[in-house]
């Protein structure tokens, strides 16, 4: 039983790392632009097709294809911000959110046209056989996912704390108008924030692809859990998104194993309501105080 529980927890952490990576990207974009990006999963999915094509058609090594997908994701995010959302800067926030919804449908449709909806295979991120310890199986790709999450989490924390670009983004979050008056290139930094956020979604999508297969809908469920992770963590908190994702992964796997997998989504949203009732700003969020 202990080994079974341990295996469930390990699988949960691996799955949770995907939710956390997705949530980190969502939070990054939200913090910079106040836009909830509903196309987040679809943009990561679109970048995954870059890796898929490079691997399947040109036999490019996984690491290189992965890097290319991240570059594509960054460009996609930056272009969407610079071309579409920048023009809507003074429009109601709802219009910007609806643009991301439209983008979500457009990207899934376009990928469906280009590649069809049949599942397409993605090579494992690490071509090393699992390590078997008694009944316990340690999958190298799970370790890679967790390691990448931690490295990226630390790197993002350092980025916001110690780099000029990171500090600029924080200034934009605090007050866009004041940041512009201080000479911060708001447009450029927003594009970088969107590019980085979408690249984080692409990390999750490429790592998920060997399991989910590459399909236009491969991120649909993951991004929903990504939203939940971000909210549980306290929308806006990077640390919250990371921890929220990992907790959520374990919780979902425990529900699958011991309760009813068909009810996982409902139970998770029930728990979300409970968490928000007890802590309206999430586990790591700070209460929003407005001066009057």
Chain residues in the site for another protein (CB under 8 A): 3-4, 7-8, 11-12, 14-15, 102, 105-106, 108-110, 112-113, 116-121, 124, 129-130, 132, 135, 137, 139, 141, 208, 210-213, 215, 217-218, 220-222, 252-254, 256-257, 260-262, 264-265
CA distance 172 to 189: 9
Residue 206 Cβ vs another protein, minimum distance, rounded to whole Å: 14
Residue 188 Cβ vs another protein, minimum distance, rounded to whole Å: 32
Pick between residue 82 and residue 97 the one whose CB is nearest to another protein.
Answer: 97
CA distance 70 to 196: 9
Chain centroid to CA 74: 13
Pick between residue 17 and residue 31 the one whose CB is nearest to another protein.
Answer: 17
Closest Cα partner for 239 from 290, 247, 191?
A: 247
DSSP letters of 137-168? EE-HHHHHHHHHHHHHHHHHHHHHHH-HHHHH
Residue 130 Cβ vs another protein, minimum distance, rounded to whole Å: 5
Pick between residue 115 and residue 159 the one whose CB is nearest to another protein.
Answer: 115
Counting every residue written for the chain, the total comes to 292
Residue 19 Cβ vs another protein, minimum distance, rounded to whole Å: 10
Residue 38 Cβ vs another protein, minimum distance, rounded to whole Å: 14
Pick between residue 165 and residue 265 the one whose CB is nearest to another protein.
Answer: 265
The CA angle 199-229-171, to the nearest 5 degrees, is 60
Helix or strand or coil: residue 48? helix
- E strands, 18-177, where? 131-133, 136-138
Pick between residue 34 and residue 217 the one whose CB is nearest to another protein.
Answer: 217
CA distance 117 to 236: 34
Pick between residue 12 and residue 285 the one whose CB is nearest to another protein.
Answer: 12
CA distance 127 to 124: 6
Residue 265 Cβ vs another protein, minimum distance, rounded to whole Å: 7
Pick between residue 96 and residue 215 the one whose CB is nearest to another protein.
Answer: 215
Q: Are 165 and 192 in contact (CB under 8 A)?
A: yes
Return phi, psi of residue 128, to 5°.
Answer: -120, 135
**The two structure tokens encoding residue 35:** 């836009």
Residue 4 Cβ vs another protein, minimum distance, rounded to whole Å: 5
């Amino acid at each position: 039983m202990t080994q079974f529980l341990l295996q469930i927890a390990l699988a949960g952490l691996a799955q949770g790392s995907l939710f956390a990576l997705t949530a980190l990207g969502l939070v990054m974009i939200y913090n910079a632009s106040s836009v909830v990006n509903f196309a987040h999963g679809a943009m990561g999915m679109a970048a995954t097709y870059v890796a898929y094509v490079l691997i399947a058609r040109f036999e490019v090594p996984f690491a290189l294809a992965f890097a290319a997908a991240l570059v594509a994701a960054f460009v996609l995010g930056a272009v969407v911000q610079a071309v579409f959302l920048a023009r809507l800067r003074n429009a109601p926030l709802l219009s910007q959110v609806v643009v991301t919804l439209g983008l979500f449908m457009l990207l899934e449709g376009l990928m469906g046209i280009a590649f069809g909806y049949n599942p397409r295979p993605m090579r494992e991120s690490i071509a090393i056989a699992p390590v078997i310890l008694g009944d316990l199986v340690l999958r190298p790709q799970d370790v890679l996912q967790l390691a990448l999450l931690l490295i990226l989490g630390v790197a993002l924390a350092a980025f916001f704390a110690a780099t000029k670009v990171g500090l600029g983004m924080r200034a934009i979050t605090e007050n866009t108008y004041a940041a512009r008056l201080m000479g911060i290139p708001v447009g450029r930094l927003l594009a970088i924030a969107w590019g980085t956020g979408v690249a984080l979604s692409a990390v999750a999508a490429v790592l998920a692809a060997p399991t989910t297969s590459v399909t236009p809908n491969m991120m649909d469920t993951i991004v929903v859990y990504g939203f939940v992770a971000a909210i549980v963590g306290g929308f806006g908190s990077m640390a919250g998104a990371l921890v929220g994702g990992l907790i959520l992964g374990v919780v979902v796997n425990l529900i699958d194993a011991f309760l009813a997998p068909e009810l996982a989504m409902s139970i998770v949203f029930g728990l979300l309501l409970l968490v928000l009732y007890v802590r309206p700003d999430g586990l790591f969020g700070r209460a929003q105080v407005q001066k009057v």
